[in-house]
Amino acid sequence: MSILAFLRDNAPWLSAGVLLTFLSGFGQTYFISIFAGEIRESFALSHGQWGGIYTLGTTASALVMVWAGGLTDRFRVRALAPVILVMMTGACLFMALNPVWGLLPVVIFSLRFTGQGMMSHIAVVAMARWFVAARGKALSVATLGFAVGEAFLPLIFVSLLLVYDWRMLWLVAASIAVLGIPLLMLLLRRERTPQSWAQTSQSLGMEEMHWTRRQTLGHFLFWFMVPALLGPAAFNTAFFFHQVHFAEVKAVAHVELVAMFPIYTAVGIGAMILSGWALDRLGTARLLPFMQIPMVAAFLFFAFADGTAMLLLGFMCLALTTGANSTLPNAFWAEFYGTANLGSIKAMATAIMVLGSAIGPGLTGVAIDLGIGIETQYVVVAGYFVFTTVMMTIGVRRARPLLSLTP
């Protein structure tokens, strides 16, 4: 099937995926961190205190995701996603109206759980389950919403922040979220049934079986993947979370830094499309071990950048992994562990990534308060991604032969 025919025949489902990943942006760090300066000023918080609050709320989100992610094995997207969108609308209103710092962990939990957690999870599980032969293409298209959000939401809202109060902008975010509900219902008037599809699918995992979550947790490959799941979530999040501070350290205007986001997004889209194309032809086993090598270069560029050119190179390297990270890990779970329990298994992976996004801002924020510069930290981060690459390579090479085994 040609790409145009694929897009035409599957437009409603793919568009629903794009919508969900785009709307998840209001709970993503790249959006919340836009308001870091205003939030810290309004509630008189240090970098470490704000990072700690963010860590607390996000960690709680990760814990709840372990249970809530499994709901995608039981309910249709058409039933589950509107409920999450209503909750996201409430979370945005909560941020806009919250009067005290003590409630900030609850606000962050609400935004992270609905946005980064469930909205993203619902979208990628649906694509991985609904599509088999074209899984890579489906994930590439659906996750374009992430890229569009990263490219335009920061630029638009940072510009609006120059004119409007930050709390008013969260009311705007709530309005956009609630408008997504009728649009999603329109796109999914006719929806595939995940559970019945999963039961009849021949998309099995290793040893020609559908793995349960318990079996997955007991398998060596899962634990070899954990550092790689934590890494991008932790340190991408930390980078965008501290973008205001990073701009100050590099002596560039914040708006000048976010002006690079569209280029970052364009490269990420290219990497996303290329990785989706390669995925359908080569499989995740051949591609996954190389996915995080660009992160090593990205954080070294950020550490040693002395001008906008090196910063831009850092963004481009970061985008290569970010784009591939939208397709390869999501397809990995279906390819290696099957689709019958994909929601529950992917929920564990999502919880680990959410936990990583909790650790990153808190850890780096405390380090800043202790006098460890952000540039020094990024050299250490680059070394961490060397470690994750080695771990993935070992794990995947050991597990790959099991894909061709029969019980």
Per-residue pLDDT for 196 more than 60? no
Pair 373, 209: CB distance under 8 Å: no
H-only helix segments in 189-250? 194-200, 213-217, 220-241, 243-249
Q: Which domains does the chain show, CATH number per domain?
A: 7-193 (1.20.1250.20), 203-406 (1.20.1250.20)
371: left (phi over 0), alpha (psi -120 to 50) or beta: left
The pLDDT of residue 302: 95
- Retrieve residue 276's tokens: 């989706």
Pair 114, 88: CB distance under 8 Å: yes
| pLDDT one-digit tens code per residue, 275-284 | 878 887 887 8
Q: How confident is the model at residue 356 (pLDDT cuts 50, 70, 90)?
A: confident
**Integer Cα distance of 102 and 105 in angstroms:** 7
- Retrieve residue 161's tokens: 């922040």
Pair 155, 258: CB distance under 8 Å: yes
**Integer Cα distance of 239 and 17 in angstroms:** 26
Cα 91 → chain centroid: 18
**Integer Cα distance of 232 and 301 in angstroms:** 16
Per-residue pLDDT for 62 more than 90? no
**Between 118 and 189, whose confidence is greater?**
118
- Retrieve residue 164's tokens: 């409007």
**Integer Cα distance of 156 and 148 in angstroms:** 12
Instruction: List all residues 6 or more positions away from 200 whose beta carbon is below 8 Å from its beta carbon.
Output: none
Position 351: which residue type? A
Neighbours of 189 (CB within 10 A): 8
Of 137-151, 196-210, 383-397, highest mean pLDDT: 383-397
CA angle 214/220/222 to nearest 5° reads 65
Q: What is the model's pTM?
A: 0.73
| pLDDT one-digit tens code per residue, 282-333 | 878 888 888 999 999 999 999 998 888 899 999 999 999 988 887 888 788 8
Cα 322 → chain centroid: 9
Per-residue pLDDT for 170 more than 90? yes
- Retrieve residue 267's tokens: 């490269």
- Retrieve residue 44's tokens: 């008189």
Q: What is the DSSP string of 173-190?
A: HHHHHHHHHHHHHHHTSS
| H helix or E strand, kind and range, residue 1 | none
Pair 288, 393: CB distance under 8 Å: no
Q: What is the mean pLDDT of residues 348-375?
A: 85
